[in-house]
Amino acid sequence: MTFKIGRNDPCWCGSGKKYKVCHQAFDEKIATYANQGCIVPPHDIIKTPDQIAGIKESCKINIAVLDYIQEHIHPGMNTAEIDKIVYDITTDMGGIPAPLHYEGYPYSVCTSVNEQVCHGFPSENVILKEGDIVNVDCSTILNGFFSDSSRMFCIGEITPEKRRLVDVTKECVEMGLAQVKPWGFLGDMGQAVHDHAFANGYTVVREIGGHGVGLEFHEEPWVGYNSKRGTEMLMVPGMIFTIEPMVNMGKVEIYVDDENDWEVYTQDGLPSAQWEIMVLVTEEGHEVLCW
């Protein structure tokens, strides 16, 4: 149920200003899109300046953790060591690793190696070796604000085929990002990601996507990459979501480990890569908050 706000009532955004001088024109613009049948964002995923400030503080921890791992990851290291680093730095900086106990997830971070698509469990038995590619997916809660990003790391010398997969996947994110601007559609971003992967002979995982983030770990909208330009949710200033395509070198099919119900693998056993950024839609375009 929604209540119509009076022009002189306080705005829903919490600014303390009257609705008519705050978000009324904004809401009317969104309503014209809704009337044309577009999917439009609900108010609760449009962040206020105070919330954005809090989310940015959370992002600082996430970035610091990934920067540290980038400096210290090496052949012979096991992924449980990465988990400990993530836990220690995050908590030292006053945060909480968001994955820990999230829907029963048992670790502080996801470490997905080679043909692991995502949600890889850190383990003493997974020892990084020359030629591996690994995604480290890190998420932080600070004062109730969430951040989420991931990077690929190449262990020593890797094959040109793996290098190209890692690089093209990053380019996919950059090309998607270039489409993020207010009054565009999420499908503009999704199609750009997909087209670039496809042009390079790769496939983009369909079942798992990005998400709104900030006040919760996973908020609306769901962010897929098999979408078409001009479709999916309207992007408006104040929205924050992730762009995090999983790009497979081979076939698109994946499966979930049926013993732990978390770890995801490519069905054909070929490598998969992923980069994840967190982006804010601004009045002018976008701002990357976390990478």
Which positions touch ligand MF3 (CB under 6 A)?
99, 102-103, 105, 110, 119, 137, 139, 148, 244, 276
Residue 242 interacts with Co ion (CB under 5 A)? yes
Residue 219 interacts with Co ion (CB under 5 A)? no
CB of 217 to Co ion, least distance (A): 8
CB of 137 to ligand MF3, least distance (A): 4
Q: Which partner from the list Co ion, ligand MF3, none does 232 bind, CB cut-off 5 to 8 Å by kind?
A: none
Q: Give whichever of 83 and 137 is closer to ligand MF3, judged by the CB atom.
A: 137
Q: By CB under 5 A, which span of 94-102, 117-125, 128-136, 141-149 interacts with Co ion?
A: 141-149
CB of 211 to Co ion, least distance (A): 6
Q: Give whichever of 168 and 243 is closer to Co ion, judged by the CB atom.
A: 243
Residue 148 interacts with Co ion (CB under 5 A)? yes
Please name the residues in contact with 201: beta carbons below 8 A apart, sequence gap of 6 or more. none
Residue 179 interacts with Co ion (CB under 5 A)? no
Q: Side chain identity at 130, as an amino acid letter?
A: E
